[in-house]
Structure 1
Amino acid sequence: MTKLHVTVEGTAFTTDKELLVKHSEYFRALFQSGMRESSRDEIQLHNLGAVGFLITLRVLDGERPLLSCDEILEAVECAAFLQVEILMKHLVNLIDPDNCLVMYEAAATYGLLDLFHESALYIRDIYELLEKDIQALPKDLIQYVDSLMPSTFVAVGAHTPTIEFLEDPSRTMCFLNEKDNQWVSLGCIPDNASTFLAGVTTLNNKVFIVGGARGANKQVVERSFCYDAENHTWSEFSSPHQLRYEVTLLGHEGYLYAFGGEYERVPVAYVEKYCLSSQIWTFGKELPQAMAGPPATKAMGRVFISLWKPQETTIIYEYDTDKDDVVPISSIKRPQSYGHYMVGHRDNLYIMRNGPCDDFLHCTIENFNLSTQQWTTLSGQYVNSKGALFTAVIRGDTVFTLNRMMTLLYKIDTCSWKPIKEKSGFNKGGTMHTFFLRLPTEIKLMASKLYKNPHQSFT
């Protein structure tokens, strides 16, 4: 390891030269230029803050620090000047209601386009909460936010492939018109698609369905499907090498990850990832144990999986997507209980587990904080009517849960979920899949017109 001494604002830092060259376009150009500076082991950076450079070094060293608004401004400046992609991604993962406007203006000032766009999308999704503060932004920044499509809550029930002429209302995918408090159909999923025990996830404003089963014998479904929300079209794509049902599917940074599942009633530990650009499935490192439907989520730009050893221990693993490795993070023991679902928010993982003595109606939520590495049990128990908590998805600081009777919204913070609003339930039987999509206005308008006049066709 070659040491490099860097002075910023009078503060001296000693770091790994190869690490800077690997992650910073600025240092790569500097040390590969052949100029006199390229052979030095001491350099001085001007017009940068020492705090921002320290944050950069921490992120390059694998840390994921939480930042104040003042620290964000310095980090954005460093990310732009030094062209550090990994720092920019970390800033994107830190966007929240408290800092999104700071992120947005800073990214606009320093030309970080990805951070600019992601901050604007976040602001668009919680527009009502920030409306007064948004008006203080420059006019062009307000116009950009207004031009974006907000996230819409979407649900689809569990159903198996059926013959084409047999009408099955459970095959419809619907979105919640929050203003009118009505569920509106986006039309049926393809005839050969299954959402029963299937892996369902979103990525790049598309819905992906992998695996699934049909019939009481759980015959595996071999075809995979994709819904493109921007043009309202369905298409097929290749299935994983190992066919399976009750597979967990997760989308992350241009890849789909398929974890575990069952094939011919035998649990499997396989992990496969699908590259959207190359359209190829490849095997990754297997899970530590075979499991059907292992809970998985994302937080702080990282992928996490929950496994268990019945009936006491829930174990959290990180799936390191860069190193293709499965790393144990923490575990928790609860008598006759284990985690059934997991959702990430900021630097927290929330694990929903059954109540005492396998009581699946009353669930307890455990919080694992990634920064402090501490577990906290949220106060009280949550009524998990028809698996509502097992479909939890988050927009901003609001949790959306769903059952046949109602859509229940919670305000989320580290130690509590507080019910804040009830909306219409989704009157479909069985398990449900929920997610957010950015639906074009014209598609939502056409679907709403069809809802009011079902004799029209949705085209």
Structure 2
Amino acid sequence: MEAGAGTESPQISAENCFDILTRAKRDGAEGARRRALGFMSRHYLQVLRTPAVFGRLTAAERELILARRMEGTKVLAVAESSDASDRGGSRESSRPQSPQPPAPEDPEHRRVFCLHPDTRRWEVLTRLPEDVPAKGSGMCTMYNYLFVAGGIRAHGDGRSKASDRVFCYNPLTGLWSQVRPLSQPRCQLRLVSMDGHLYAIGGECLFTVERYDPRVDRWAPVAPLPRGSFAVAHEATSCGGELFVSGGSLFYRLLRYDSRRDEWEECPFNESRRRSTDMVAHRSLVYRFDVDRERAGVSVYKYNTAAKAWHGGASFPLENPRPFRCAVLGERIYCVNRSHTLQFEVREEREGFGPEVLPPPAEARGALVPFVLSLDRDE
């Protein structure tokens, strides 16, 4: 369980924060009330899975501590990682392969960077703990925490093994902690957050999917991916309360998961037969990015989840393009790899790649996984 931050008053803890809040409300002590709610916001996961605290808060107080947690300066962040197999942009076979022993990891290159919103320079935010596999793991954010699940680790006998461990980073305290392990070890999974839950999707030779409920700190199986769909190298995102999965060796397919019915169904095919590099959602649209080395550029397709139709999008000329990963911040999709960061505008009045190409973090290693975090307003 995550320890308290050093900046918090020593008199407040997860065990007494609700009592402090109750006394503050009774006595009209506004300062103590704000301090108790602030502690709950900074340690939201711990409070969420403590019925004696979260279950006794009013609906307004629950909304307040979550809203406060999500406030602050939103920044683009990237984690140094690597996939267990090449994610090339060409139309290569993605037939499942036996996991290969990962190369020894350099502890100096397990960093998480954030892009300073004013200076537009990359700064080190934290480092992945040594126990976190940096190869083949899934990463995403939920409730302003960074979660890292699964991956592949080398053992002393020279063999590698998929991991079931799940770690989370709290940017408001600067601390890492662990949550309940996955139901089964996974490598090359996709980790997606939706409606207050995490979904661990597929992995090396796996079609199974499981869902994490942070209120009870538990993973539970949901409907697996349809047989014959995507064993590895898939992309996944959430949009409008539904999961969408694509990629693998069947590049044109898009699957939709309805959590209410616990069912997967086929969406209309995409015209591109190339392997996509990533897929993200903005409003009711799912954006798919394809790297085309033959035509030296990046192509964008978008799927309208309301109209259930694909549309061709913008393209961007790029010499020798390399695969990248994407994150949405405001009205912009950032496309990040070790060479550059492209910016794709998704405003209603304008959609397309902007002219500014940001440099990557200096001396970054491996694949870069982007995401968005809100940093404390006082930082």
Shared fold (TM-score, shorter chain, > 0.5): yes
Cα deviation digits, residues 206-252 of structure 1 (max 9, x gap)? 01111111359653234221111221110112221221100000111
Identify if the C-alpha distance between structure 1 residues 167 and 374 changes in structure 2 by more than 3 Å, giving closer, same or farther. closer
Secondary structure of the residue aligned to 2:311 is strand
After TM superposition, give the deviation of residue 404 of structure 1 in Å: 2.8
Decide whether the 8 Å contact of 1:411 with 1:420 is kept in 2: no
Give the helix-richer structure, 1 or 2: 1
Higher RCO (CA < 8 A, seq sep 6+):
2
Alignment match, 1:275: 213
**Structure 2 regions of 5+ residues with no counterpart?**
1-58, 84-101
Q: Write the distance in 1 (CA, Å) between the matches of 2:315 and 2:172.
A: 41
Matched, 1:380 2:315: yes
Amino acid at match of 2:367: T
Moved more, 369-378 or 418-427: 418-427
The count of corresponding residues between Structure 1 and Structure 2 is 295
Secondary structure of the residue aligned to 1:195 is coil
* Aligned with residue 172 of structure 1, among 104, 107, 111: 111
User: TM-score, structure 1 length as denominator?
Assistant: 0.57
* Aligned with residue 245 of structure 2, among 297, 302, 305: 305
Cα deviation digits, residues 262-282 of structure 1 (max 9, x gap)? 1xxxx1100011111111111
Matched, 1:323 2:261: yes
* Aligned with residue 430 of structure 1, among 358, 366, 374: 366
Alignment match, 2:203: 261
Alignment match, 1:209: 148
Decide whether the 8 Å contact of 1:201 with 1:208 is kept in 2: yes
Alignment match, 2:46: none
Amino acid at match of 1:305: V
Decide whether the 8 Å contact of 1:200 with 1:249 is kept in 2: yes
Alignment match, 2:10: none
Identify if the C-alpha distance between structure 1 residues 434 and 365 changes in structure 2 by more than 3 Å, giving closer, same or farther. same
Identify if the C-alpha distance between structure 1 residues 301 and 199 changes in structure 2 by more than 3 Å, giving closer, same or farther. same
Identify if the C-alpha distance between structure 1 residues 253 and 411 changes in structure 2 by more than 3 Å, giving closer, same or farther. same
After TM superposition, give the deviation of residue 367 of structure 1 in Å: 1.2
* Aligned with residue 199 of structure 1, among 134, 138, 141: 138
Q: Write the distance in 2 (CA, Å) between the matches of 1:115 and 1:382.
A: 45
User: TM-score, structure 2 length as denominator?
Assistant: 0.69
After TM superposition, give the deviation of residue 306 of structure 1 in Å: 1.4
**Structure 1 regions of 5+ residues with no counterpart?**
1-110, 123-147, 445-459
Alignment match, 1:150: 73
Structure 1 runs of 4+ aligned residues shifted over 6 Å read 111-122, 160-163
Decide whether the 8 Å contact of 1:368 with 1:376 is kept in 2: yes
Decide whether the 8 Å contact of 1:387 with 1:431 is kept in 2: no
Amino acid at match of 1:440: D
Alignment match, 1:95: none
Secondary structure of the residue aligned to 1:169 is helix
1:322-361 equivalent positions in 2, closer than 5 A = 322-334=260-272, 336-355=273-292, 359=294
Q: Write the distance in 1 (CA, Å) between the matches of 2:186 and 2:76.
A: 28
Alignment match, 1:144: none
What's the % identity of the aligned pairs?
20
Decide whether the 8 Å contact of 2:236 with 2:245 is kept in 1: yes
Identify if the C-alpha distance between structure 1 residues 413 and 316 changes in structure 2 by more than 3 Å, giving closer, same or farther. farther
